Structure 1
Amino acid sequence: MTTVMLVDDQEMIRKGLRVIIDAYPGLDVVAEAGDGFTAVRRLDSVQVDVILMDLNMPGMDGVEAVRRIREARGPEGPRILVLTTFDQDENVLAAMRAGANGFLGKGAGPDELAEGIRRVAAGAHALSDNAIGALVSHVSDPHAVPPDPDKAKLFEGLTPRELEVVRLVVEGLDNAEIGRRVFISPFTAKTHVNRAMAKVGARDRAQLVSLAVQAGIRP
């Protein structure tokens, strides 16, 4: 059973999400919080596998909550899936840097939401098309923050093929799509992605995208 905490300042949204999530076998909402402060405190008394986190909340917002949870619980703590409208690209990037494991738009359907929770619980990533679009928009913006030299150095040890695959990951392609684009098998594409993550120290695909964006790697 995958246990879930809902963090959103709107009670009606939490109630709706609870009904949707609890309807799927193997998923169980065991805690709720209306703001970041409450979410951080609740983790002292309840153990959850996945936190479904809103970004825009009064008081402590989702980005700060993600940061504090990661500082207190480490990378082995609860997995965090951000649910957002993606109206501000910098918020998506900030949450990634803080340690979020995946992003879904608030317009995601029930099946996409349930699958996203299952994926991050299993240690994989969950990035919706909107999340990739926000990141690509950021790196394509001439007024965006310039590349971080320290992050760029992380990618210097990648082979040309690995760097090519990273660019395709930033573009939003999955392993099968990467394979078709560069004429390799999905398994080989996954291998290149995993090697790139290991070399740059990314815990998952979401953080690989975050580091790549900060390094100025564009699709």
Structure 2
Amino acid sequence: MTIKVAIVDDQDMIRVGLRTILEAQPGLEVVAEAGDGLSAVRLIDTGEIDVILMDIRMPGIDGVEAIRRIRAAHGSEAPRIIILTTFDQDEYVLSGLRAGANGFLSKGVSPTDLADAIRDVVAGGGALSAAATATLIGSFTDQLIVPTDPKMVDLFGQLTAREREIVEAIVAGGGYNEIAKELFLSPHTVKTHANRAMTKVGAHDRAQLVSYAYRAGFGTR
């Protein structure tokens, strides 16, 4: 299956570079481009798109507002969306994920990791940079009272020792490649264990896994 990708960025050179990178990866095809948020919203009507790579700061409406409008207009039928930006400030991470983004990555991500992230979100998962994960965790730790959810404790109790170890590493802000190096595993093995953990606890993506893990008490230890 070929994954159809749309690139939304106001810089021509960035779009050209991303197109070159993605079309060198097996199973990925760039089918559309846009240079601003309003054009991004209209992209959905131009043809089949599986994933949108969305910049944050653009003329007109920004990427976060474009995501809101896409989700409002198309709901579950909308393509998966990954924010790809140089700006990883807390407010962008949280507002982007709340608007309905399925991932948040830095433009410094490697071509292989970017391609893997696209495949992950199409498969129903999520993609978060280490900085975005840390921000998400911080949004929970900033709360004065963080109650432990007994249901989540029970769900996470189903994890194997290895799955739990990987979830703990993700909650600590580690990316798949970083975790793989620390645990002497392949990135594919780390992703497999992470996906199994998500299935067991009912998390749809990595962001939700972190949220659930924190409610199970992981972030308080």
TM-score, reference length from structure 2: 0.74
Corresponding residue of 1:194: 199
Distance 1:147 1:116, change over 3 A: farther
Corresponding residue of 1:50: 51
Corresponding residue of 2:210: 209
Structure 1 stretches of 4+ moved >6 Å? 185-189, 211-217
1:60-209 correspondence runs (5 A): 60-139=61-140, 146=143, 155-159=149-153, 162=156, 169-173=170-174, 190-196=195-201, 198=202, 202-209=203-210
User: How far is the alpha carbon of 1:212 from its aligned partner?
Assistant: 7.0
Amino acid of the structure 2 residue aligned with 1:157: K
Contact kept, 8 Å, 2:152 with 2:215, in 1: the verdict is no
CA distance in 2 between partners of 1:96 and 1:210 (Å): 12
Amino acid of the structure 1 residue aligned with 2:115: A
Amino acid of the structure 2 residue aligned with 1:193: M
Over aligned residues, Cα RMSD in angstroms?
Answer: 3.4
1:160-194 Cα offsets, whole Å, 9 max, x none, are 672895665432356xx69x7xxxx9777655433
User: How far is the alpha carbon of 1:139 from its aligned partner?
Assistant: 4.7
1:50-92 Cα offsets, whole Å, 9 max, x none, are 0001112121111111111112222342111111224411110
CA distance in 2 between partners of 1:130 and 1:157 (Å): 28
Give the 3-state SS of the residue equivalent to 1:37 in structure 2: helix
Contact kept, 8 Å, 2:82 with 2:101, in 1: the verdict is yes
Aligned length: 202
Aligned sequence identity (%)? 50
CA distance in 2 between partners of 1:11 and 1:132 (Å): 29
Contact kept, 8 Å, 1:86 with 1:131, in 2: the verdict is no
Amino acid of the structure 1 residue aligned with 2:151: G
Gaps of 5+ in 1: none
Contact kept, 8 Å, 2:51 with 2:79, in 1: the verdict is yes
Distance 1:216 1:12, change over 3 A: farther
TM-score, reference length from structure 1: 0.75
Distance 1:195 1:148, change over 3 A: farther
Amino acid of the structure 2 residue aligned with 1:204: D
Contact kept, 8 Å, 1:99 with 1:207, in 2: the verdict is no
1:190-209 Cα offsets, whole Å, 9 max, x none, are 5543343x3xxx53222343
User: How far is the alpha carbon of 1:29 from its aligned partner?
Assistant: 0.5
Amino acid of the structure 2 residue aligned with 1:203: H
CA distance in 2 between partners of 1:58 and 1:215 (Å): 41
Amino acid of the structure 2 residue aligned with 1:11: D
